Amino acid sequence: MSASTLVDTYAQFPIELVEGYGSRVRDANGRDYWDFYGGHAVALLGQAHPAVTQAIGEQAARLTFYSNVVPLDVRTRAAQRLCRFTPAGLDHVFFCNSGTEANEAALKLAIQQTGRKRIAALKGAFHGRTLLSVAATDSAKLHASLEGLLVDTARLRPNAIDDVELINQAVAAVIVEPIQSIAGIVELEESFLAALRRRCDQMGALLIYDEIQTGMGRLGRPFAAGAYGVLPDMITLAKGIANGIPMGAVVMNDRVAAPIKIGDLGSTFGGGPVACAGLLAVIETIEAERLVEHAAHLGERMRDTLKIGPVRQILGRGCLIGLVVEGAAKDVQKHLLERGFITGTSDNPQLLRLMPPINTPLEAVDELGRALKA
Ligand code: PLP
């Protein structure tokens, strides 16, 4: 048995990409694709957005990196800008580099601040692969080799209000994706989120929304937090926040931020200047190009026009959409790739996941509809 130079840890699409612009990517044979996968929901503004490219290029040319041992104007501006974009009440930010790190930091803060050793998360959840995040993730496969190393996790069923009773005074925090993505686009109902908030308040537990996929305008609203009149104590962000420059963030309320002391959290790369310049450019572009509204229009267009061909049902909202198909989603995905569309699958074998850049033109959806029909 011989291993390849790059260890074989990913199942890969049978195409090699060499360049891209906006929602189009090109393979090594010069063939173009519409990207409804977005490099796993990371290409929020697509490839090579001029404003992001200019911002990260200029920052790299001026000061490529300095750690958190010194204050940086670009980091301060990025934090302030992000906290203006997130709902009022979530006004403090810790920067890191990825989704799992953001969830790890949020759960660690909850454990530190409550002195409790148990967490709660949902069936079907995906929160990452580091120890606290993977404990919150509902995956027997990912847990198999980690027995004895994982924090005890209460497992609630999505939208099962009775299950909120599992949150007791031993639980430090509850973490949820407002729309579970990898599970197969499972939307949490407003009443369930409100019940979680009430129960957390009664039990002294913290509520965390993992908005790594649902945040930054993707749902046709800035964030799920604040959209239902329930605010979590923290939201975690990553993926597209700097449009592909690795970056994660925990945005938190006063209650969580106030007790944090020097050394409680840390990251060498977190809040690096190039990532911060990218984040600033992303938010400025979302606002200047009215992309939250555009994401909502794209979602409506997908819902209105894609129930066609093998598609039986459409789930989700904005640019986080699930197409429930007849037969295996993998087969539909393969056929779509042959017709020039990159799409994603999920844990639900009959669900095709669409996570296009939020500035994708509406015509791309119409073209996808024609390909599905064919
Ligand atoms: N949370 C959610 C909802 C995700 O979809 C992912 C990644 O797919 C993560 C957390 C982990 O993010 P990362 O791969 O950046 O660690």
Ligand 1 centre distance from Cα of residue 176 (Å)? 12
Tokens of 303: 């819902």
DSSP-assigned letters across all residues of 101-170: HHHHHHHHHHHHHH---EEEEETT----SSHHHHHHS--HHHHGGGTTTSPPEEEEPTT-GGGGGG--TT
Ligand 1 centre distance from Cα of residue 237 (Å)? 9
Ligand 1 centre distance from Cα of residue 62 (Å)? 31
Ligand 1 centre distance from Cα of residue 157 (Å)? 20
Q: What per-residue confidence (pLDDT) applies to 186? A: 98
Q: What per-residue confidence (pLDDT) applies to 1? A: 60
Q: What per-residue confidence (pLDDT) applies to 199? A: 98
Q: What per-residue confidence (pLDDT) applies to 131? A: 98
Per-position pLDDT tens, the chain of length 374? 678 999 999 999 999 999 999 999 999 999 999 999 999 999 999 999 999 999 999 999 999 999 999 999 999 999 999 999 999 999 999 999 999 999 999 999 999 999 999 999 999 999 999 999 999 999 999 999 999 999 999 999 999 999 999 999 999 999 999 999 999 999 999 999 999 999 999 999 999 999 999 999 999 999 999 887 899 999 999 999 999 999 999 999 999 999 999 999 999 999 999 999 999 999 999 999 999 999 999 999 999 999 999 999 999 999 999 999 999 999 999 999 999 999 999 999 999 999 999 999 999 999 999 999 99
Pocket test for ligand 1, best of 213, 243, 269, 355 (most atoms within 8 A of CB): 213
Q: What per-residue confidence (pLDDT) applies to 227? A: 84
Distances in Å between the alpha carbon of 235 and those of 89, 126, 305, 347?
A: 11, 15, 32, 24
Ligand 1 centre distance from Cα of residue 172 (Å)? 21
Distance separating alpha carbons of residues 335 and 145, to the nearest angstrom: 35
Give the count of beta carbons closer than 10 Å to the beta carbon of residue 268.
12
Pocket test for ligand 1, best of 98, 186, 212, 353 (most atoms within 8 A of CB): 212
The residue whose C-alpha atom lies closest to atom 2 belonging to ligand 1 is 127
Q: What is the pTM of this model?
A: 0.98
List residues near ligand 1 (CB under 6 A). 40, 98-100, 103, 126-128, 177, 181-182, 210, 212-213, 238
Which ligand 1 atom lies nearest to the CA of residue 180? 3
Ligand 1 centre distance from Cα of residue 47 (Å)? 20
Structural contact between residues 235 and 225, judged by C-beta atoms closer than 8 angstroms: yes
Distance separating alpha carbons of residues 19 and 329, to the nearest angstrom: 27
Which ligand 1 atom lies nearest to the CA of residue 177? 3
Distance separating alpha carbons of residues 65 and 67, to the nearest angstrom: 7
Ligand 1 centre distance from Cα of residue 210 (Å)? 9
Give the three-state DSSP class for 273.
helix
How remote is the C-alpha of 135 from its chain's centroid? Answer: 18
Which ligand 1 atom lies nearest to the CA of residue 248? 15
